[in-house]
């Protein structure tokens, strides 16, 4: 406490009153901080803006296409892997169950079914499925292939 006639001190520790004055030597690593910020921003951008593809239930490598036409991306996809295992959507099914499920989907409206078979799948696996689909009233089947590089 200041008595009469004395000047009050601005700092209880006897300094000049700059409590927050702190000087430090410049650090070389300070120049890295903006670069680290940019790297994290780019990483975040590419994670958000990147294309996400749903993983397929079966590992299928389709054959190369002979034509350059584009197919619409509509309708259910039947997957057939090289062993002959089939899947519709996210379920593994046998061929009868695939046809039955597609019949339920079709109902009254015509639907195009997309068939994505592995290039090593034998024809004896695909042809009975195509016949069963035709017998079920599904007349439009698209065979999916990849473009040549």
Given pLDDT bands bounded at 50, 70 and 90, which one contains residue 38?
very high
pTM, two decimal places = 0.54
Tell me how far apart the alpha carbons of residues 17 and 11 are, in angstroms, rounded to a whole number.
5
Q: What average pLDDT does range 5-24 have in this prediction?
A: 58
Tell me how far apart the alpha carbons of residues 55 and 35 are, in angstroms, rounded to a whole number.
34
Q: Is the pLDDT of residue 72 over 70?
A: no
Displacement of CA 109 from its chain's centroid (Å): 31
- Give the containing element (helix H, strand E) for 104: helix 95-106
Tokens of 10: 């601005």
The answer to whether 122 touches 133, Cβ cutoff 8 Å, is: no
pLDDT in tens, 109-135: 767 888 888 888 888 888 888 888 888
Tell me how far apart the alpha carbons of residues 137 and 111 are, in angstroms, rounded to a whole number.
10
Q: What average pLDDT does range 64-71 have in this prediction?
A: 62
Tell me how far apart the alpha carbons of residues 65 and 6 are, in angstroms, rounded to a whole number.
97
Tell me how far apart the alpha carbons of residues 63 and 47 are, in angstroms, rounded to a whole number.
30
Q: Is the pLDDT of residue 20 over 80?
A: no
Q: What average pLDDT does range 46-61 have in this prediction?
A: 70
Tell me how far apart the alpha carbons of residues 53 and 8 are, in angstroms, rounded to a whole number.
72
Tokens of 15: 């300094």
pLDDT in tens, 90-109: 888 888 888 888 888 777 67
CATH number for the domain running over 77-143: 3.30.420.270
Q: Cβ-count burial of 80 within 10 angstroms (0-12 exposed, 13-18 middle, 19+ buried)?
A: buried
């Amino acid at each position: 406490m200041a008595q009469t006639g004395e000047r009050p001190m601005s700092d209880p520790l006897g300094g000049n009153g700059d409590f927050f004055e702190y000087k430090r030597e410049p650090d070389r690593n300070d120049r890295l901080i903006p670069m680290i910020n940019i790297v994290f921003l780019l990483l975040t951008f590419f994670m958000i803006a990147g294309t996400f593809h749903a993983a397929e239930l079966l590992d299928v490598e389709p054959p190369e296409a002979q034509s350059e036409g584009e197919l619409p991306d509509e309708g259910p996809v039947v997957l057939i892997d090289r062993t002959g295992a089939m899947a519709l959507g996210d379920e593994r099914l046998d061929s009868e169950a695939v046809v039955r499920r597609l019949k339920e989907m079709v109902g009254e409206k015509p639907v195009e079914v997309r068939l994505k078979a592995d290039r090593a799948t034998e024809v004896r696996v695909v042809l009975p499925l195509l016949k069963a689909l035709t017998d079920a009233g599904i007349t439009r089947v698209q065979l999916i292939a990849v473009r040549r590089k």
